[in-house]
Amino acid sequence: VDDFAPRLSFFFNAHIDFFEEIAKYRAARRIWARELRDTYGARDERSLLMRCHAQTAGVSLTAQQPLNNITRTSIEALAAVLGGTQSLHTNSFDEALALPTEEAVRVALRTQQVIAEETGVVHTADPLGGSYFVEALTDRMEEAAYGYFAKIDELGGMVEAIKQNYPQREVADASFTYQQEVDAGQRIVVGVNGYREGGEGQIETLRIDPELERKQIGRLQAVRTRRTGAEVESNLAALRDAAANDRNLMYPLIECARAHASEGEIVESLQQVFGTYTETPVF
């Protein structure tokens, strides 16, 4: 396990419940270190270090009063940093409406830079360690996680649990409960079901120039004209064969790229083997 564990990393979401998010990262770090050491027998200390990237919660962004999203993203980013994330993506305030403008992206970047350069929170590892509330919440989060692990084991492992729609149902149930609380006014979302204002002005959103699409189509057509069609088809066939026989896809994917197969052609080839996933109803 020490041959590959130091290279593993995770992608986490940072939501708006400040202390809960911090506890989530801390609990995950504890669980990872313990399981790698005790269950999988890791001896390299680097294997015990849980590496993660965090992105602020797109689901928390609101189309109403979108400038409030700057505050939401700042709080979520700070929670991720205090929880110990190694890298961070901050969403732009207008992403509930459209792809972000340059100004919105700049504000998102500056949010990270203010946290990194002005607050001092990056100079201390686990700065909230020892806080009664944070430690207790971390314990509860860890205990709840192990409860899920036990349930998944009972179902026969994660693959079997997915086939039985267990994680999908848990996510759907939590999302439904959250939305019910918002709709009933039990959970206040500023600007959505509380502190609303009449006549709110519209912000400028990004508009994509249609000329960009025409240019991209032109570039694609030029590549298809220059490439060797037989070479493309041969490599796509090799990719389909590897997929059908459960072999490593990385090498045929690289060869397809070298032959200038398009992303769409590659995906279509894999689709012919694997089909298209259709999410099953979970309610």
**C-alpha distances in Å from residue 282, one per residue of 95, 160, 176:** 28, 15, 12
**C-alpha distances in Å from residue 173, one per residue of 61, 64, 89, 154, 179:** 20, 25, 27, 20, 10
Note down pLDDT in tens along the chain; length 283 residues. Answer: 999 999 999 999 999 999 999 999 999 999 999 999 999 999 999 999 999 999 999 999 999 999 999 999 999 999 999 999 999 999 999 999 999 999 999 999 999 999 999 999 999 999 999 999 999 999 999 999 999 999 999 999 999 999 999 999 999 999 999 999 999 999 999 999 999 988 777 899 999 999 999 999 999 999 999 999 999 999 999 999 999 999 999 999 999 999 999 999 999 999 999 999 888 777 6
Q: How far apart are CA 189 and CA 207, in angstroms?
A: 28
Structure tokens at 83: 């929880």
On whether the pTM is more than 0.85, the answer is yes
Q: How far apart are CA 106 and CA 89, in angstroms?
A: 12
Given this model, what pLDDT does residue 283 score? 67
Nearest to 70 by CA among 21, 109, 20: 109
Q: What is the CA angle 41-42-43, rounded to 5? A: 115
**Structural domain spans, the chain:** 5-154, 210-274
Given this model, what pLDDT does residue 278 score? 85
Q: What is the CA angle 89-95-101, rounded to 5? A: 90
